[in-house]
Structure 1
C-alpha cells in the first residue's frame, strides 16, 4: 500500500482549489522561515524580544503592546465567529473546526484584555503582518473544511481525539499564561524565571500546549491544510522556544536551570 493511500485513511482528499494549495505552500514556507529566523536571533518584534535589535528601527511607528496584541488576535476571532453566523447549517466537522478556532482566538482576546500585563510597545509592521498571517490561515482552514463537505469521510475518524487534544491544549496554554501573568506585580518591569506547572521542565510550556491545540484542530478537521499549518506552527514555535531559552540564559546566566529545556521535556 502506497503512502498516499495510507494518508487518505486519515485525511480528506486535497480540494481542487488553487487558493488552498497556494496557502498551504506559502504558509508552511513562511512559518518555517520564521522559525529559522528565530533560531538565528532575528526575532518577531513583540514580547520580551521587542528591544532585541530594535535600535535600528527606533523611528518606526509603534502601538502599545496591549493594543497591538488586540489587533493581532481580533480579526481571526471575527473570521471564525463570522463563519459560524454566515454558514449556520454546515456539517459537524465544519462547526467543530470553526468553533475551535473561534474559541482559540476569543480566549486570546480575553487574555489580552484581562490577564496579561504589558509595559512596552509593538512596531506597527508587526501589528499588521502577524494578524494578516493569523487571519489568512484561519480563513483558509475554514474554507478547506467547507470544500470537504461533500467528500466521503476518512475511514479513520480522529475528530473526537482532536476534541480531547484541543481541550487539553487550551487549558494547558491558559494555565501557563496565568503563571506568566502573575510573575510580575503591577508596575514591575523586571523579568523573572518562570516557576510552577511545566515551567520546571521547559521554558515555553505555553507554546507546547498551543501546538497541542492546533494538533487537536487538525485531528478534528482531517484536512491536509490543517496538518500543514500545524506543522509550520510547530516549527515556528520550536524555533521561538529555543530563542526564548537562549534569551533567559543570556539574561540570568548560571541562575537559569540547565535541565530546563526549550519546549519538549527532557528532550529539547
Structure 2
C-alpha cells in the first residue's frame, strides 16, 4: 500500500503484505457499519434484537454468546507471546499485552460482572468472534512486519500517551459496566431496562462506548501501524452509530428521558 510520506512522522510505513493490505482496506470500508447502526440496522443482540427481530432461529444464551465473541481473540493474544520472539522489542510486547488485556477484561466481565436475561443469535456471535479474532491477529502481525521498517519519527508510546489512553479507556469502560450491571435486577429472566445514572451517564447514554473507543485509540498509538489506526476508526464509527441508536431507543421508551444527554461525546454528539 502506498502511504503518504508525511504520515510516517506518526505511522510506520505499511508492510509489503497482501494479507495486511487487504485487511486494512477492508477495515476502512467496515467503518460504514456505524451508519447502519444509526439507521436502525442493528447487529442482532441486546435490546435492539428484541425490539426489531421477533423471529429468532438459532440462538444462544447471551452469556454463552458473548464468551464466544471474546474468547478466541483473548487466546490469540495469549498465543502471540509464544509465537513471536522476545527480541521483537518493547513496543511489540506492549501491542500484544494491551490487546490481550483488553479481551481478558471482556471475558472476565462476561463471567463476573454483566447480568444477562436474553439470547443472542448464533450467527451473530460467530461473526463478532471471528471479527475480533481477525482484528487481534492482524494487529499483532502487522506490527511484527513493521519492525524492520523505518520507525515513526514521533514515538506515541513515550512518555505514555498511548498507554495512558489505553489505561483510562479500560478503567472507564469497566467502571461504567459496573454501573450498568447494578441496574439489572439479580433475578434470572428479568427484562426490565432502567435509565442509567452515575459516572458520565448524566452527560451521555453510552460512556462505556466512549471509554472503549479511547482504549482502542490507545492501542493504535502504541502500535502506530496503518492497520491499528484503521481498526480504531472502525470501532469509533461503529460504537458512535450504536450510541446514536441507543439514545434514540431511550427517547422512545422513556418519556422523561433528559434531552440534554448526548449519545457518546459530552455536549457534542
Q: Same fold (TM over 0.5)?
A: yes
| TM-score after normalising by structure 2 | 0.95
Moved more, 186-195 or 102-111: 186-195
Aligned-pair CA distance for 1:249: 0.5
- The separation in 2 between residues aligned to 1:151 and 1:15, in whole angstroms, is 8
Instruction: Report the CA distance between 1:79 and its aligned residue.
Output: 0.5
Q: Match of 2:59?
A: 62
Which of 103, 109, 112 aligns to 1:111? It is 109
Which residue number in structure 2 is paired with residue 155 of structure 1?
Answer: 153
- The match for 2:75 among 70, 75, 78 is 78
Shift of 1:117: 0.2
Secondary structure of the corresponding residue to residue 52 of structure 1: helix
TM-fit CA distance, 1:87? 1.6
Question: Is the contact between residue 158 and residue 222 of structure 1 (CA under 8 Å) also seen in structure 2?
Answer: yes
Contact kept, 8 Å, 1:50 with 1:121, in 2: the verdict is: no
Alignment partner, residue 222 of structure 2:
220
Cα root mean square deviation, aligned:
1.1
1:56-78 Cα shifts (integer Å, max 9, x gaps): x32x1100000000000000000
CA contact (8 A) 2:32 2:237 kept: no
Determine the structure 1 residue equivalent to 2:268: 267
- 1:43–1:52 CA contact under 8 A, matched in 2: no
- Residues 196-246 of structure 1 show CA distances to partners (whole Å, capped at 9, x for unaligned) of 000000000000001100100010001011001101110111000000000
Query: TM-score under structure 1 normalisation?
Result: 0.95
Instruction: List gaps (5 residues or longer) in structure 2.
Output: none
The answer as to 2:12 corresponding to 1:29 is no
**SS state of the match for residue 63, structure 1?**
strand
